Amino acid sequence: MGRKFTKISAEAFKSMQINAGLVLNKFDTEGQTAVADADIICATTGGITATCTPNITDLGEDVDNCQKNTVELMEIEDYDCTLAFTALNTSAEVIRMALGAADVAGGKVTPRMTFKTDKTTGDFKTIWFVGDLIGGGYVAVRLDNAISTGGLSLKTTDKGKGNVSVTLTGCVRMGDETVPMEFFVSEDAAA
């Protein structure tokens, strides 16, 4: 008897994401085919991790005779959306991004006790991850209102490269219930 359920669709490989991808400060999902060096935030090591996790409340969990995880009583409260990576660059901008609330003047980075929340000049930025698909095209993740929640951790090694661990969290603005992470897939080999 032949194996009917142990094969892989030829189409599956086209949408497999390969290599580490890039962390960018901007990306245009409407036909961008190349990335400018100025848009690349940093070189990374160990890959990039994007997570988008709903925080779910079961409104029936303390109700007598109610089954756990009843569909009609499940409610999404909010999402934890993060982009985590290890940067090999120790530029002033990478250090500022890892600190979250900081000012850069020349080569000096000074942490602040408060966030700047202005949409255009504040600390909260839109950050992108973009990676290649094996069949051409790309997968992209946009993290909105991103701010560092992991702090600065600069690690050095003897006869090796130093690196900065960065964890960025997407935040929501008051009155806006939009999840701060979106995903884009272009399987167009010309992309």
What are the tens digits of pLDDT across the range 3-24? 778 888 878 888 889 999 999 9
Confidence at residue 9, expressed as pLDDT on a 0 to 100 scale: 84
Closest C-alpha to 99, from 38, 152, 23 = 152
Integer-rounded Cα Rg, in Å, for the chain is: 20
Tens of pLDDT, residue by residue over 104-122, are: 998 899 999 999 999 889 9
**Which residue type sits at 7?**
K
> In whole numbers, what is the pLDDT of the chain averaged over residues?
92
Residue 80 has pLDDT above 80, yes or no: yes
pLDDT digits (tens, 9 = 90+) for 24-43: 999 999 877 789 999 999 99
Please report the pLDDT score of residue 190 as a whole number.
62
Domains annotated for the chain, with CATH where assigned, are 18-186 (2.30.110)
**CA dist list (Å): 113 to 34, 38, 149:** 38, 29, 14
Q: What is the pLDDT of residues 126-154, one digit of tens each?
A: 999 999 999 888 999 999 999 999 999 99
Between 131 and 189, the higher pLDDT residue: 131
pLDDT value of position 5:
80
CA angle 129, 87, 135 (to 5 degrees): 35
